[in-house]
Amino acid sequence: MKILIVDDEPINILLLESLFKNKFETDTAENGLEAYNKIVESPPDIVLLDVLMPYMDGFETLEKIKTNKNIANTIVIMVTAKVEKDDVKKAMLLGADDYIKKPIDATELYTKIDIHARLKESEKQVNEYQVYANIHESMISAQRIQQSLLPDKQNFLKIFKNSFILYKPRDMIGGDLYFISQKLNKKFICVSDATGHGVPAAMISILAYMSLDWVVNKENITNPLKVAKELRKELQIHLGQSADTYAAKNGLDAVFCEYDELKQTLNFVGAGRPLIIVRKGKNHIIINGQQVNSLLHINDQYLFYLRGDFVTLDIEETTNVLSNHEIKIDKDDTIYLFSDGITDQFGGKEEKKFSKKRLLNILLRNQTKSLKSQKLLIYKELDKWSLNQEQTDDIVIIGIQLY
């Protein structure tokens, strides 16, 4: 703590310096003008201010300190032999924080300095808390705005009648996004995962949502390859305006699907994200006219894991090519779209990742259960796995049974 001693009597300054030796850092001034200039240049924590001084007395100095908004919070304790009530009243009206009389009692002085130091620290903590409270309130508003952009449950079930959504941001706002739309017999869905998490990722996800809304709902494009290309173009336009290298590194992984109810086909594009299909009673699936065998199976339930392309949608990767996969759908096929937050979650006794293998086995083991029950089982398994570990990343997983 730094204390400025202001007194025109050298003996008084020496006395106070001896009291504070090895306890506080001290500086001195012989008159009010010198003191004021020092306070403006480098505000101390506490000022011990004499009243009777040449050039500018203590009252004038106090008034100048308290009317300068840059230094008005400086603690000023008046130190003088004058203890008349009018002087005390004048000092307090001018903003003095306390008053101590001469001859100085060391215990009284230490006590008052300690009290005001603690009051200042408390005030600082209150201000910090208020700043935090303001930020927290803003984050709640941001959370509501972001969640209002996501499809509500009724709208989702209107388009995909038998489905579930497990959405769990790591922070109050996150970078995972899901988007749906229906154009006549074609149903479109996208799940994306923005780089990172928290506020930066949330801003990318909102940009992605607005772009998807424009492309799909305004331009009436549902073809996944065209949507992915348009989304990449929008990210390049908006993020590429800045020379900031941080902005240049931002982007997202995403899975895009278009389900054609009349043709019973599913067009799938994966930009760094896979698609899972589970089929009952048949160990193969037709993709782009070619037969593809299942990756795993339990009894008559067969799971297909479609990797997509190892491509991220950002402004730097402009030459990487995405590919469309046309899949022939059988009745009651179930598809799963998810971000990497669930597979990357740390936990277990050995503090390993939840893993893709564990997720696939959970999905396959529980195919006889309803999608609503599957959602609860996934949540419980994830919660059990995490134990006391903090959530690693934003999580979204969506299950849809196609008809």
What are the pLDDT digits (tens) for 76-135? Answer: 999 877 666 777 788 888 999 888 888 888 888 888 888 888 888 877 777 777 777 777
Q: Which residues contact 149 (CB under 8 A, 6 or more apart)?
A: 206, 209
Partners of 293 in the β-ladder: 284
Nearest-angstrom CA–CA distance, 44 and 125? 19
Whether 308 contacts 270, CB under 8 Å: yes
Q: Please identify every stretch of the chain with a pLDDT value under 70, giving residue numbers as ranges.
A: 82-84, 240-250, 315-320
Structure letter (DSSP) for residue 332: T
Whether 344 contacts 393, CB under 8 Å: yes
Q: Can you spell out the DSSP letters for 51-68?
A: SS-SSS-HHHHHHHHHH-
Whether 348 contacts 387, CB under 8 Å: yes
Rg (CA), the chain: 34
Whether 51 contacts 80, CB under 8 Å: yes
Residue in 380, 274, 394 with CA at minimum distance from that of residue 345: 394
pLDDT of residue 74: 92
What is the H or E stretch that residue 119 is in? helix 106-149
pLDDT of residue 245: 46
Paired sense of beta strands 313-314 and 301-306, if any: unpaired
What is the H or E stretch that residue 37 is in? helix 32-41
E-strand stretches of 106-159: none
**C-alpha pair distances (Å), 233 with each of 85, 118, 240, 247:** 76, 56, 10, 15
CB half-sphere exposure, 57, CA atoms < 13 A: 7
Q: What is the pTM of this model?
A: 0.70
What is the H or E stretch that residue 358 is in? helix 356-365
The single residue listed with the structure tokens 């000022």 is 47
Please report the sign of the dihedral spanned by the C-alpha atoms of residue 226, residue 229, residue 231, residue 233: negative
pLDDT of residue 105: 83
Tokens of 67: 């009317």
- Strands ordered across the beta sheet of 301-306: 163-168, 395-401, 334-338, 275-280, 301-306, 296-298
Nearest-angstrom CA–CA distance, 274 and 257? 11
What is the H or E stretch that residue 34 is in? helix 32-41
For residue 113, how many other CB atoms are within 10 A of its CB?
23
Partners of 291 in the β-ladder: 286
Paired sense of beta strands 75-80 and 46-50, if any: parallel
pLDDT of residue 319: 60
Nearest-angstrom CA–CA distance, 166 and 400? 12
Alpha-carbon torsion angle 37, 41, 47, 50, nearest 10: -10
What is the H or E stretch that residue 302 is in? strand 301-306
What domains sit in the chain, N to C, each tagged with a CATH number?
2-124 (3.40.50.2300), 143-401 (3.60.40.10)
Nearest-angstrom CA–CA distance, 98 and 129? 26
Whether 205 contacts 150, CB under 8 Å: no
- Rounded to 10 deg, the angle between the 32-41 and 58-67 helix axes is 20
Tokens of 105: 């009692």
